[in-house]
Amino acid sequence: MEYYDIPGEGDQEMKIAFLSDLHDYCRDFGIDGILNALKEASPDLVLLGGDMLTCQKHAGWTADPDPTLQLIERIAQDYTVIYAEGNHETRLRSRHPEVFESYKRRLEEAGVIYLINDRVLLDKIAIYGITLDEYYYRHLFPGFGKKIPMPQDQILKQLGLPEKGRYNILLLHSPLYLEEAASWGADLVLSGHFHGGTIRLPAAGSPGLMTPQYQFFVKECSGEHVSKNKKTRMIVSRGLGTHSINMRLNDLPEISLVRLKK
């Protein structure tokens, strides 16, 4: 469990557990390990940041979503769960719609709130889930953090204006678009996608060496970041699993616990 403290104006604390990039595969934690970690943390809310399953780009749908569904269903028995898409859910929806609809229906039957360019209002906060077009996940090898340019009003077109008078949390799978999220008005961005950099040096605070997209030394591959205008924080999870090449070197899986003052 990685802990992140977000200051606020109030004296009440909300604990948010953030899980991302399970990819049907969590060798280090396992289902029981994840459930036990959540029980110990006792969050008020569980947010899922996408890529909880795997849909290979060039292969047919071969994965079994049942283990992932079983985990999320068990989490939803005890917590409010809000789920936003990563590139793998988006790919599954576009290429295997019948599998996606079955997956989404089972999630919703378990009480999971599945966001596709939508929001949920909870007390003093608003939680948004944006679905990026697959175009924004294109690889720019060797990359070094390069990204496909996003129009300045893209997030506004997809989500509308952020809620006034609330703390606006944006589930945005790719962390490369922090500045665009800040311009839109997000207070906190929760991202994943880069799996912590896959290979990390053993020294504390070292950057990830290589993302799953074969980009090198991307500073946004994990940890906490602040936008240039200092108004938006971003937390990037190292994620829970892997896919294709099941490797993590000095790169522990992560469940993030955000302690938010409100």
Please, which contacts does 102-109 make with residues 24 or more away whose CB atoms are closer than 8 Å?
103/53, 103/65, 103/69, 106/69, 106/73, 107/69, 107/72, 107/73, 107/83
Q: Where residue 220 falls among pLDDT bands split at 50, 70, 90?
A: confident
Calculate what percentage of the chain has a pLDDT beyond 90: 66
* Nearest of 164, 160, 184, 161 to residue 232 by alpha carbon: 184
Domain ranges of the chain: 2-261
Mean pLDDT over residues 33-45, rounded? 96
Cα–Cα distances in angstroms (integers) from residue 167 to residues 10, 181, 257, in the given order: 12, 14, 17
Q: Measured at the alpha carbon of residue 235, what is the angle toward residues 168 and 179, in degrees to the nearest 5?
A: 65
> Can you name the CATH fold of 2-261?
Purple Acid Phosphatase; chain A, domain 2 (3.60.21)
- Mean pLDDT, all residues of the chain: 89
Mean pLDDT over residues 217-225, rounded? 86
The SS3 call for residue 190 is strand
Q: Where residue 62 falls among pLDDT bands split at 50, 70, 90?
A: low
* Nearest of 72, 104, 108 to residue 85 by alpha carbon: 104
- Quick: pLDDT tens for 111-167: 999 999 999 999 899 999 999 999 998 765 545 557 889 999 999 999 999 999 999
CA dist., res. 151 & res. 135, Å (int): 13
